[in-house]
Amino acid sequence: MPKKPITNLAYSDKELASFFYLADETFGIDFREWYNAGEWTDRYRCYSFTFYRNVISNVGMSRMTVMTDGTAREAYQIGTVMTDEIRQGQGLATRIFKHLFKQHDTDGLPYFLACDEIVEPFYEKQGFTAQSEPELFISVSGAAPPLEHVRVDAEQWRRFKLESLPYSPRLYTKDDMHIWMFHYYQGMDEDVYRFDDVHVIYMIERSRLNLYAVLSPRPVDMRDVVARLSFEGITEIVFKFTPDLDGVEQRPSRDGQWMFRMNDGQLFPEGCRFPYLSKA
């Protein structure tokens, strides 16, 4: 049985391959293309238990800057928490968390993560507390014409992040390009559309339109965006971020919740939604 977690900085080729395999088995996520493109930077560090050079349990951590109402705060977003199925229940992830906190609590930075309610008790044992996140939406009706579908490459996707104004001014992140690019390699580039010089990322789910981003180097009136996306048959637009828009309604989120481990204060403002494309 492993004695001490190692970091991805010490992975052998076999350990790296086993990390990819475990992530695919656990979450159905393929890290390989993102990794091969050089997007796994020092902003994302994994702590892993290995057994005969196979990763059997892992906790990932992304360092980023969280911007809330104009105030910047460095924080760690936890993700890729996984354990080989046959070794679950042995306390491996708990031991990794203890090691991780010992390494980084001296930084004085908050930790946060997204999870489903079923695993909330596990994270509570690690010192996290839950904060509910609302689903933000607006009811619409209209018959706006379809938007132009746009194919983008990795460099264009990167420029979206670098050149666009924050589309969620109350709550957004910086220094998280690795996560932004991860969503590109998971297929979000297939959902980019354009009107004028504005790019929007959305998916339609029956009568609801899930809006993930509004990308432009100039200020954009969110009312105009809503009007442009009020297609025939769409009855509501659901924002996967916190829009600067009056009349937005709230209801309980169906996407799980956030949990925080911090000494004081509150990282996310009440009633805000963390941008999906910054979610690890």
pLDDT in tens, the chain (280 residues): 567 899 999 999 999 999 999 999 999 999 999 999 999 999 999 999 999 999 999 999 999 999 999 999 999 999 999 999 999 999 999 999 999 999 999 999 999 999 988 999 999 999 999 998 999 999 999 999 999 999 999 999 999 999 999 999 999 999 999 999 999 999 999 999 999 999 999 999 999 999 999 999 999 999 999 999 999 999 999 999 999 999 999 999 888 789 999 988 889 999 999 999 999 9
Single pTM value for the model: 0.95
Identify the pLDDT of residue 2.
61
Tell me if residue 109 falls in helix, strand or coil: coil
Q: Which residues contact 186 (CB under 8 A, 6 or more apart)?
A: 29, 34
Identify the pLDDT of residue 155.
98
- Number of Cβ within 10 Å of residue 129's Cβ equals 12
| CA–CA distance, 76 with 191 (Å, rounded to integer) | 28
Backbone angles phi, psi at 213, to 5 degrees: -165, 150
Residue with tokens 């939406």: 137
Identify the pLDDT of residue 257.
86
Half-sphere CA count of 229, side-chain side, radius 13 A: 34
Identify the pLDDT of residue 254.
82
Sort strands 71-83 and 54-68 into parallel, antiparallel or unpaired. Answer: antiparallel
Which one-letter amino acid corresponds to residue 73? R
- Number of Cβ within 10 Å of residue 218's Cβ equals 9
Residue with tokens 């702590």: 47
Identify the pLDDT of residue 140.
98
Q: Which of 271, 260, 255, 241 is nearest to 76 (CA)?
A: 260
Identify the pLDDT of residue 264.
84
Check: CB of residue 184 under 8 Å from CB of residue 39: no
Residue with tokens 């983008």: 152
